Structure 1
Amino acid sequence: MNQSPYNNSLSQPRFNNNGPNPPPAPKHYSTEHTDQRKHNSKSGIICQICGKTNHSAAVCRHRYDYFTPEEETQQALAAMNLQDENDPQLYVDSGATAHMVNSTGKLKKFIPYGGSDKIFVGNGQSLHISHIGDTTHGKLNLKDILVVPKLKKNLLSVSKLVDDINCSVEFNSLGFVVKSKENQVLAQGTRHGDLYGLNEGGNLAFQTIRRNSENQDLWHKRLGHPSPKILQVLRANGSISITDWTKNTSICVSCQLGKNCKLPFSLSNKISDFPLDKIHCDLWSPAPIASNQGFCYYVLFVDDCTRYCWLFPLKSKSDFFECFLKFQKQVENHMERKIKKFQSDGGGEFSSIIFQQHLQQSGIIKQTSCPYTPQQNGVAERKHRHIMETAITMLFESSLPLKYWVEAILTAYISLINCHK
C-alpha cells in the first residue's frame, strides 16, 4: 500500500471508537481515504465544519469528533449557531435558499409539507420540514415559507426575496434596507452583532410569543375547530381576542380529514308524465327475526309519476319473481297501461336470468343503479325509511315484540297509502 506523508493541517486527534482517549497521530499513515482526499482537492471546496479546504462536510473527520473543540472564530451560518431558541426575530441570510421559521404560529396560511426534502445546516445536520405557508411583514409578502421545528433562528432568504418581489437589498454597517424597483422602502433591518434582523412593525405574526397566542388558527384549534362564523361572533362580543383576524382563513387539514363527507347528490326534478312509465323497486332484507307467518323480507314497488307504492312480504328472495308477475298483472290490468321502465339496484333477485328474460319479453327497460350508490335508487330507499320508521315507532308505542314486524309495516303501509289518497 502506498505511504503518504502526514499532513500537518490534519494534526488534530482522530476520533477512535476503541476508547475515550484517542492515540496520538503517527508520523506516517496509510488509509483508504487518501484517494478520496485527492479527489476532493480538485474541487477546491471549503469544509463547513472545520473550515479547511480540499474536502466537504460529508467526509470531514471532525464531523463526529467530540474531542476536538470548535474554534470560536467559526461563523458558518452564524444564525444557526446561536442558542436563544425563543427569539422571534427574523434574520436576513444571504446563504439560505428559502425562507424558514420554526413555528406555524408565525404564518397566516400554512399546510403540511408532503415532500421528503430536508434542510442541511452548517454542522452537517439535516432538519425536518413540517409545513409550508405564507405571511406578510409590513409591505413584504413572504411566500413558500418552510416550517422547520428544530430551527434555532428564523431566516429570511435574500435570494428568494429578490426573486419573488423583484426588489433590492442594500447592506451597511448599521443595517439594511429593502427597496422596490421604484426606490420605495419596503422594509428595514438593524444589525445585531454579526446578524441582520428585520425590524418589526406592522406585522403581528413576528412580534412576540404572547401575540402568537392570539393567532386566529390557534383559537380555531382551542375551541374545537369551529367554523369561521363562530369565531367571528366570539370576537365581536369580546369573548376572545384575535389580533390577526382575516376572512381568508388558512386550510385546516384536521378539519378536512375529520369532517370529510361525500358530496350530496343533486335533486332530481325528472318525474314521469304518466303512471307506470317507471317503477322503482327495492327489496328489504333480512329481518332481525322471522315473523309469525315466517316472513323475512318484503319488496316495495313505487310508481315514479304518482309516488303510489305497493308492499308485499316475502319468505325468501326466490319468491320475488313470482311476486313481480302478480304485481305486473295487477297494475297493468287496473290502469290499462304497460310498465315501461324498471329501476332497482344490482341485487341478485333483480339480475337473475329468468327475470332479465321476462323484462325483455315484456318490453320493459331495466335501469340499475351503480354499485355502492343507493342514492340512485333514492325513491324506493326513502319509502323504505318512512315505512320502517313508522313501523318501529308503533312497536315501541304498543310494547309488542319484534316478531310482529310484518303487522307493523303493513299497518304503516296502509296508513301511508291512505294519506296518499
Structure 2
Amino acid sequence: MSTAKIHPSASALSTTIKHLTGTLQFSRTCTFPPNGLAHSRRTTHALRIRRSLTVSSSSVSDPLEVCVKASLTTPNRLGDCPFTQRVLLTLEEKHLPYDLKLVDFSKKPEWFLKVSPEGKVPVIKIDEKWIADSDVITQALEEKFPNPPLGTPPEKASVGSKIFSTFIGFLKSKDPNDGTEQALLSELVAFNDYLKENGPFVDGKRVSAADLSLGPKLYHLEISLGHYKNWSVPDSLPCVKSYMKELDTGRMIGSGKAHEGLYVLDAESSSSRQALQTIGMPGLSLLHQWHMRLGHPPIFVLDKLLPSLVKHCDRNNFHCDACELAKHKHSCYPLINKRSLFPFMVIHSDVWGPSRVMSVSDCCWFITFIDCYSRVTWIYMLRTKSEVFSCFKTFHKMVHTQFATLITVLRSDNGTEYIDGDFCAYLEEHGIFYQTNCIGISE
C-alpha cells in the first residue's frame, strides 16, 4: 500500500528529489533544433530554490548539455528515468549549471542518435565529448569537478545495490508465490540494518554518490509498487522509510496510507501527534488543527481522511471562522451608530420575494419600513410586487394619523418598484425626498 509523508522542511537533497522525480514538470524545459547547438542559461526551479545559483558562481563557463528522456504524456516536460535523475542530482550537488535536451523516445531524432548510437539516456557533453551511462557520467563529473566531493568509499559502494534489480523482478512478477517479494524484502531489511548502524546516509553523515543513485530508485520503487501492487515499504523498516523521504534529517513527522484514491492520515500515530505538538496551536482541538493544516477541507472530506477524529466530533458545532469569512463575497460592513435626529425623519424600505411558499393569505412578497431613529420596523405582506405603492400610501397615512408627524426622507435600494411614475409623483406632492443606496451593496 502506497504511503504519503509530511516533512518538516525541504532540505537541499530532498527538495531536489521532489523536483526531479515526483514533480518532474517543475524542472527546466527547453526545445532544441536538430543540430543541438542551442544553449540556455536558465537554472531549474529546484536549483533556484536551493542555491540561487548563477553561471558566474561556477567554474563552468557554459552550462553542460544533457540529453534526457522527454515525457510520453506531457509535451516539453522531463520524462521519468531514475538514471537521468541521478545525473541531474549530481550536477546540482556540485553546483553545475546545465541545459536539458528533451528527447522524444517515440521518434528519436537523428541528431540524438548521432551522439548516442544506442539511443539511451542520459548522455552528457563534457569537454566537447558526449558520454553515456550514468555510472560513467557521475565518475567523469567527480574527476573533473571534485568539489564538493561525492565519492563513495569502495567498501560501501555496493550497499543497497541489489534493491533496484529485485524491485524490477517483483514489479514484473505475476505469481505472488515466486519469491520475488521476499527477495526485495530481504534486500530492504539488509539496507535498513545497515542504516541503523551506519546511517543516516550510506557514507555516514555525508551525502555521497551512492545516495544520489539510490534516492531516485527508491522513489520509483515506492510509487510503482504502490500503484501496481498496492505495496509499500513496511513500517518495520523505519530507517529505510526515513531515508527515502528525508535524506537530510531522516525525520518523518506524519504518514498516511492510500485508501480508495485518498491518503488517509493516521492522526493517532506518535509521529503525527509529534508533528502537531511541534507546530501546534494551543486552544484548538486536534481535529481543528488538522483541518487548518490540510488547507481547510470541509467536514465530509475530513471524515474520509481522519475518520478516527471526526467520529468523536459534533459536526453541528464544528465551525471555522476562516472558512466562513473566505466564503463571503465582501468584507463585513463596519458598525456605524449614526441615526436620524428625530422619529420618521428617514425611513429605510426594502422589498423581499417572491417566496416559494405562499402564506395563509396567499402572499409571497413583503415590504419593510424601518425608522432610522428608533429602528422600529413595520412589515406589510404583499400578493404582488405591484402593491408596493399602495402599501407605502397606507404606511404614510398611518404615520401621519398615529404619530402626528411627517416622513422627511424615504431611502431604498435601486428597485424599480420605487421609481414608478405615480410613486415619484406622490413623493413629490408630499415633499418627501427619495434617496437610493449605492449600487452593488446590500446595506
* Normalised-by-shorter TM-score class: 0.3 to 0.5
Which structure has the highest strand share of the two? 1
- If asked which structure has higher relative contact order (CA below 8 Å, sep 6+), I would say 2
Which structure has the highest helix share of the two? 2
Choose 1 or 2 for highest CA Rg: 1
